[in-house]
Amino acid sequence: MSRAGLRFSSAVLAFAVFMIDVLTPLEGAVAVLYVVAILLAARTNRRSDIIVAATGCVVLTITAYLLSHYLEAITSPALRALVSLAAIGITTLLVLQNQAATTRLAAQARLLNLSHDMIFVRDRSGVITFWNKTAEQTYGWAADEALGQLADKLLRTNYPGRREAIEAGLLDTGRWEGRVEQRTKAGAVLTVDARWALQHDHLGTPVGVLETHTDVTDRVAAHSALVQSEQRYRRMFDASRIGVVEEDWSGLRTALDSLRTEGVDLGDHLARNPDFVAHARGLARIIDVNPAMQAMAGASSSTAFIENVDKLLGENDRSFLDALVAFAEGQRFHEGETQLVRIDGAKVPVLFTITFPPGSDGDQSVLVFVVDITERKQAQDALLAAQAELAHAARVATLGELSASIAHEVNQPLAAIVTSGEAGLRWLRRDVPDLKEVATTIGHVVAQGRRASEIVTRIRTFLKKASPQQDLLQIGEVIEEATALVARELAKDDVVLIVEARHGLPPVRGDRIQLQQVLVNLLVNAGQAMSGQSGSRTITLRAGIVDSEALAITVQDNGPGIHPDDLPRLFDPFFTTKEGGMGMGLAICRTTVEAHGGRLSVASPTGSGATFQLTLPYSQVHYSP
Ligand code: ADP
């Protein structure tokens, strides 16, 4: 019923009692019924309504009495009216008290509704009698739905222990706290921290339990994620093959800060104060080491580990100073190489990276990652040894090349000396020795001997990497000398040499003997190539200008030519197809030509023998075409 309805009913009832009181001979006894009107008004829960109703009833009672017994002597009806008035008064007082208590309770209930925690009250049998707003919002049931339900059944509570034991503890101590799982109306599982408080009546009998639930689902999830991540990192830490050391550098920070306040340039100061650095090594405390690091340092467990890095580093270590400077400069990473001193005193070469986490808290967990590079060092040493061996082998090979070149180059003049000597002997053994011819042949012998010695000198200079002589040479003369040197040999093999050199070719800068040797080599090779063949054996030597910078000399034969497979290797040292060949001639020729700024190439079109072409830059200054 609404408030207005209650007020109206209360007034109607009071008036009805008044009428009965006045019109019937009940003589005031009916006035007790006014109490009902007051109780009706009290149900509006308003103090003013109760007071108005009470006052009204008192006035009506007195009015009725006066109307019926106007100034008559105070008799029993008067006493009855007084009793009625007393009843009205007492009722009013009680009702007012009750109203005040209800108002207080309502205020408390409103406070409970303001709470961020879920709060509900259940009676001793577990039936919910109060259900706050947050419980409505979080668990999903409105108060109307929750009231009267069994709390455990509604929320499908999952307790951490036996329910009976928890209840017994609650009765014993009056309180219980624990973490339980609750299911919401939508079916979600919430983890809550529950606090229970036993409620008693005024006689001390337990009447119900006030439960407060704090939702910690997110916190628990975050915590377990954190735990998982911790475990993951721990696994990485333990399983890593890289040594990891966790160190506390906060002591170092303090020491460095004290230096800083004295206004010292830290890097400089540290470099000049080995004592400070040595002291600082003792301040870098080791907190934890992983198994890989223990193995590297030869420790059987992390407890066997020295408590600071001092003993881990050798006396001559420079890496700690660098790391300290990096730390002082606020760098995040530092890398270095050093030798780790194992517990047994042996040294292990290592590479390391230090990470300095940001913030002063980070100083307490400086991580050092260490890699053992013993194998790498060994490989490096082996590589260095191999390189040294190779260099030695190269020197031996150069020596071989040197002797090979000397043998090769000197062979030709020696052969010429023998030929001339034999010719001389023949002239001498004649019945009438032709001394003039003998003198000529001896002249040849002497000339070839000189050449041989010059060749040796030149080769030695060449191999000493001394630059060749830079004479201004008339290329025509060089060609003439070279052809003269091989003329006899070629003639012996019936080789016809045709020289087609342009007159007035520009001079070239270079070494006469070396260039002569190149031509001699090419001519001798050509002759040898044709030696086995029947039919004509011709070598054509041409010399002419290619362009404004270079002149070219070609030596062409009509021999078998060069097999295409051999072409790419033709100029390699020791490449030969001849039985007693050495394979040095063309290699020396190419190097010589290139040392003169020119090029030596070969072409061998099928059926046209071989053509070697050498180009040489000529001296512009001394040439006017
Ligand atoms: P060698 O004469 O000691 O073999 P060379 O370096 O002078 O060394 O020559 C290398 C090879 O080049 C020879 O063995 C030969 O096979 C080839 N060669 C050089 N000149 C000619 C040529 N004119 N015709 C055919 N082959 C040649």
| CA distance linking residue 146 with residue 158, whole number of Å | 18
pLDDT at 87 over 90: no
Please indicate whether residue 477 or residue 393 has the higher confidence score (pLDDT): 477
Flag whether 90 is in a domain: yes
| Residue to substitute in 576, 611, 612, 614 for testing ligand 1 pocket (most ligand atoms within 8 angstroms of CB) | 576
SS3 213: strand
Q: Whose CA is nearest to atom 1 of ligand 1?
A: 583
Q: Whose CA is nearest to atom 14 of ligand 1?
A: 576
pLDDT at 544 over 90: yes
State which residues form the domain around 292. Answer: 240-372
pLDDT at 467 over 60: no
- What pairing do the DSSP bridges indicate for beta strands 471-473 and 508-510? antiparallel
Q: Where are the beta strands (DSSP E) in 57-188?
A: 118-123, 128-131, 175-183
Least confident interval from 88-92, 244-248, 551-555? 88-92
Tokens at residue 186, please? 């939508």
Please indicate whether residue 141 or residue 256 has the higher confidence score (pLDDT): 141
Q: Which atom of ligand 1 is nearest to the CA of 586?
A: 6
Flag whether 408 is in a domain: yes
**Ligand 1: distance of its center to the CA of 590 in Å?**
13
| CA distance linking residue 132 with residue 31, whole number of Å | 44
Say if CB 126 and CB 151 are below 8 A apart: yes
Q: Whose CA is nearest to atom 13 of ligand 1?
A: 576
pLDDT at 465 over 60: no
| CA distance linking residue 278 with residue 313, whole number of Å | 10
Q: For residues 602 and 477, state if they share a domain.
A: yes
Q: How confident is the model at residue 411 (pLDDT cuts 50, 70, 90)?
A: confident
Q: Whose CA is nearest to atom 19 of ligand 1?
A: 525
Q: Which residue has the tokens 């079916």?
A: 187
Q: Whose CA is nearest to atom 22 of ligand 1?
A: 526
Q: For residue range 580-593, list pLDDT tens digits in order.
A: 777 888 988 898 89
pLDDT at 571 over 70: yes
Q: Whose CA is nearest to atom 20 of ligand 1?
A: 525
| CA distance linking residue 89 with residue 40, whole number of Å | 15
Q: Where are the beta strands (DSSP E) in 315-447?
A: 333-341, 347-355, 366-372
Q: For residues 456 and 482, state if they share a domain.
A: no
pLDDT at 276 over 90: no
**Ligand 1: distance of its center to the CA of 613 in Å?**
14
Q: For residues 130 and 90, state if they share a domain.
A: no
Q: For residues 423 and 565, state if they share a domain.
A: no
Flag whether 37 is in a domain: yes
| CA distance linking residue 157 with residue 134, whole number of Å | 18
Q: Whose CA is nearest to atom 16 of ligand 1?
A: 577
Domain tally, the chain: 5
CA separation (Å) from 208 to 8, 125, 152, 163?
38, 8, 14, 16
Q: Which atom of ligand 1 is nearest to the CA of 525?
A: 20
Residue 395: per-residue pLDDT: 52
Percent of the chain past pLDDT 70, that is, above it, reads 91
**Ligand 1: distance of its center to the CA of 530 in Å?**
11
CA quadruple 602, 603, 609, 614: dihedral positive or negative? negative
Q: For residues 368 and 400, state if they share a domain.
A: no
Long-range Cβ contact pairs of 86-91 (< 8 A, separation 24 or more): 87/32, 87/34, 87/35, 88/34, 88/35, 88/38, 88/54, 88/57, 88/58, 88/61, 89/54, 89/58, 91/35, 91/38, 91/39, 91/54
pLDDT at 389 over 70: no
**Ligand 1: distance of its center to the CA of 214 in Å?**
100
**Ligand 1: distance of its center to the CA of 511 in Å?**
23
**Ligand 1: distance of its center to the CA of 521 in Å?**
9
Q: How confident is the model at residue 388 (pLDDT cuts 50, 70, 90)?
A: low
**Ligand 1: distance of its center to the CA of 31 in Å?**
153
SS3 386: helix
Q: For residues 479 and 608, state if they share a domain.
A: yes
Q: For residues 273 and 210, state if they share a domain.
A: no
Say if CB 190 and CB 184 are below 8 A apart: yes
Q: For residues 194 and 139, state if they share a domain.
A: yes
**Ligand 1: distance of its center to the CA of 525 in Å?**
6
Q: How confident is the model at residue 128 (pLDDT cuts 50, 70, 90)?
A: very high
Residue 154: per-residue pLDDT: 95
Partners of residue 212 on adjacent β-strands: 119, 195
Any idea of the CA torsion for 442, 448, 454, 456, to the nearest 10 degrees? -120
pLDDT at 13 over 70: yes
Q: Whose CA is nearest to atom 7 of ligand 1?
A: 585
pLDDT at 602 over 80: yes
Q: For residues 363 and 381, state if they share a domain.
A: no
**Ligand 1: distance of its center to the CA of 522 in Å?**
9
Last residue of a domain, one of 338, 372, 406: 372
Q: For residues 291 and 326, state if they share a domain.
A: yes
Please indicate whether residue 389 or residue 500 has the higher confidence score (pLDDT): 500
Tell me the CATH number at 260. 3.30.450.20
Tokens at residue 410, please? 């000197």
Q: For residues 432 and 507, state if they share a domain.
A: no
Please indicate whether residue 456 or residue 463 has the higher confidence score (pLDDT): 456
Last residue of a domain, one of 67, 91, 109: 109
Flag whether 300 is in a domain: yes
**Ligand 1: distance of its center to the CA of 570 in Å?**
7
DSSP assignment letter at 559: S
Q: Whose CA is nearest to atom 26 of ligand 1?
A: 562
Tell me the CATH number at 584. 3.30.565.10
- Among 509-513, 538-542, 587-591, name the most confident range: 538-542
| CA distance linking residue 82 with residue 96, whole number of Å | 21
Q: Whose CA is nearest to atom 8 of ligand 1?
A: 583
pLDDT at 460 over 70: no
Nearest to 421 by CA among 441, 437, 446: 441
Angle formed at CA 559 by CA 555 and CA 565, multiple of 5 degrees: 90
Residue 363: per-residue pLDDT: 87
**Ligand 1: distance of its center to the CA of 577 in Å?**
7
pLDDT at 29 over 80: no
CB-based pocket (< 6 A), ligand 1: 521, 525-526, 529, 557, 559, 562, 570, 575-578, 581-587, 610
Q: Which atom of ligand 1 is nearest to the CA of 582?
A: 3
Percent of the chain past pLDDT 90, that is, above it, reads 38
Residue 33: per-residue pLDDT: 83
Last residue of a domain, one of 372, 392, 414: 372
Flag whether 596 is in a domain: yes
- What pairing do the DSSP bridges indicate for beta strands 206-215 and 118-123? antiparallel
pLDDT at 553 over 90: yes
Flag whether 225 is in a domain: no
Q: Which atom of ligand 1 is nearest to the CA of 522?
A: 20
Q: For residues 415 and 349, state if they share a domain.
A: no
What pTM was estimated for this model as a whole?
0.41
**Ligand 1: distance of its center to the CA of 421 in Å?**
28
Flag whether 229 is in a domain: no
**Ligand 1: distance of its center to the CA of 524 in Å?**
9
Flag whether 393 is in a domain: yes
Least confident interval from 178-182, 302-306, 327-331, 437-441? 302-306
| Residue to substitute in 586, 604, 613 for testing ligand 1 pocket (most ligand atoms within 8 angstroms of CB) | 586
